[in-house]
Structure 1
């Protein structure tokens, strides 16, 4: 028996990287997982590989209509929604003074508005059920800053603040909301951001006390804890998974 047996969870941006690892971990612990991604083929392919009760669903978190359709599909598949993991994210590295406002808009729409859209669609379902859990993936960039990620840091800072306020508003309904902040993590997105700059990547790794990047599984383990019954009395909390790079 797993601690997530009989629970159903939506994970956004779950086709690859950290989101995929989260979906795999939750499924391994017994959860029925809605693997959602803007890339429908990736979502359905990942769900098929996970097997069991996993189902792949297209969802563009920047589009409220797409999010509502995804949530309706998840409810039809599982009957209820016990957990929401807001993982979908995107960034573009570069000095703020040289950045393009069009990129600001995309970063904020995916990283901040995406969390707002999914939460507004799912939390009423949880209220009607009498309970649930929300886990938002922010970033240590929001807690301590990160050169080249000014707008991303701002958006993720908004996610942390939103999580705390949501936690206060929904606690009386038996719903908790917490935030997980990854440090530098070995994902395709990270690799693309540092492509051609091995010196910067190596310097970053040396700054981490454990001398390695986080693995997606490291994040998945913490998210699975927050999404499980073991974390029922925890709410409004923010935890860094950074190998000690940041200690706040």
Structure 2
């Protein structure tokens, strides 16, 4: 059995974050769940097989994030594993993307992970062991129409991962990204609704359209993303990588 670690998972109230929390808990780690919805966080925590903690914070609020990490450290000690998963997208043609949407996408999907990594990295380096995994996206690897701001932010966060990994490569700390395709989550449900509204397709037709975009012909299961995150914890030779979990969409 692997040594139990103190883990912090953001965006843990549903979807990929909840699946990651469940997997890490099943592997024997204690997991702090961070999100904005305390009711949903408590529901996820109640289903964990091991020790869990629910911490409410908006990752785009630096003071809330600092207080949340302080709380975890006070009760459990330094964060040894960070899974920066919280994120969201916005769909619009580039020429219709507002400054506000652009700024929001960068703040949530790039700046918030940066602040989290910056906060927990010193403790990991001091301990000589740590794992950071950022949940990016397949669009960190290629451009996609109608999501320019989201794509730019995810490209940026992959650059952050690579730079951080290079800085700490000799310290025992690894930094990786997991890059999912379309996953069967509430976030994809929102995308399905937007496609249906824009094209006149039914929700089932819109969902099937997204499934067909991936060579395997289906949506990714959140547990499959969680499996990739778990791999990053146990393999210390893998760092600075963007691990695709996209059904073969991007071959690299």
Give the TM-score range, shorter chain.
Answer: over 0.9
Alpha-carbon distance in 1 for matches of 2:52, 2:90: 31
Single out whichever of 175-184 and 75-84 deviates more from structure 2: 75-84
Single out whichever of 94-103 and 201-210 deviates more from structure 2: 201-210
1:70 CA displacement = 1.1
Which aligned pairs between 1:37-186 and structure 2 lie closer than 5 A? Answer: 37-186=35-184
Match status 1:203 vs 2:203: no
Q: Which of 19, 22, 25 is the aligned partner of 2:20? A: 22
Give structure 2 stretches of 5+ with no counterpart: none
SS in 1 for 2:111: helix
Alpha-carbon distance in 1 for matches of 2:86, 2:101: 16
Note the aligned Cα RMSD (angstroms): 1.4
The list of structure 1 runs, each at least 4 consecutive aligned residues, that deviate by more than 3 angstroms after superposition, is 197-201
Alpha-carbon distance in 1 for matches of 2:42, 2:75: 14
SS in 2 for 1:173: coil
Deviations 1:184-224 (A, max 9, x none): 11111111121134444323322322211001011000011
Query: Structure 1 length as normaliser, TM-score?
Result: 0.93
Alpha-carbon distance in 1 for matches of 2:154, 2:214: 21
Give structure 1 stretches of 5+ with no counterpart: none
Q: Assess if the C-alpha contact under 8 Å between 1:209 and 1:244 holds in 2.
A: yes
Q: Which of 208, 223, 237 is the aligned partner of 1:217? A: 223
Structure-1 residue corresponding to 2:248: 244
The number of aligned residues is 244
Q: Assess if the C-alpha contact under 8 Å between 2:4 and 2:29 holds in 1.
A: yes
Query: Structure 2 length as normaliser, TM-score?
Result: 0.92
